[in-house]
Structure 1
Amino acid sequence: MHAFLIILQLIIGVMLVAVVLMQPGKTNGLSGFISGGAAESFYSRNKSRTSEAMLSRVTVFLSIIFAIICIVQNLIK
């Protein structure tokens, strides 16, 4: 059981790193500074349906599973 949890945690950890690295940066950089950056657009109104929102939800899900596995492994020892 302990070996299974270690392997599962390793797989989830690698997946979590990959999902975090796939997410775009949250800053606009210099282009946001020049143009103002806070304009209302179609993208900002439908942000919950984009791939960024999906990646964010997957990140939260994997982090919770990773934390639960850590706690279970600690209780098993």
Structure 2
Amino acid sequence: MHTLFTVLLIISCISLIVLVLLQSSKSAGLSGAISGGAEQLFGKQKARGIDAVLQRLTIVFAVLFFVLTIVVTYVNL
């Protein structure tokens, strides 16, 4: 049982890393924050298309990562 949860945790970790790296950048970095890039960050722009799918999948895999981490910890005890 412990091995199954550990393998699922590793798969979710790798998937989460890949999903975060596939997402497009949403800010212009430090220079954008100083010169008014916060308008884009807090604006009412919704992610569309593949960005929306990647964003939702990232949330799902992040929750899965935390749940599996807690499960592996309790199974290990």
| TM-score > 0.5 by shorter chain | yes
Q: Which of 49-58 and 17-26 deviates more?
A: 49-58
Report the counterpart of residue 71 of structure 2 in structure 1.
72
Task: List structure 1 runs of 4+ shifted beyond 6 angstroms.
Answer: none
Match status 1:51 vs 2:59: no
Q: Which of 44-53 and 57-66 deviates more?
A: 44-53
- Bigger radius of gyration, 1 or 2? 1
- Corresponding residue SS for 1:47: coil
List runs of 5+ in structure 1 lacking aligned partners: 39-43
Report the counterpart of residue 23 of structure 1 in structure 2.
23
Count how many residue pairs are aligned between Structure 1 and Structure 2: 69
> Identity over aligned residues, as a percent?
33
Distance 2:75 2:7 in 1: 15
Distance 2:55 2:49 in 1: 10
Q: TM-score normalised to the size of structure 1? A: 0.71
Distance 1:66 1:23 in 2: 18
- Corresponding residue SS for 2:27: coil
Distance 1:3 1:53 in 2: 33
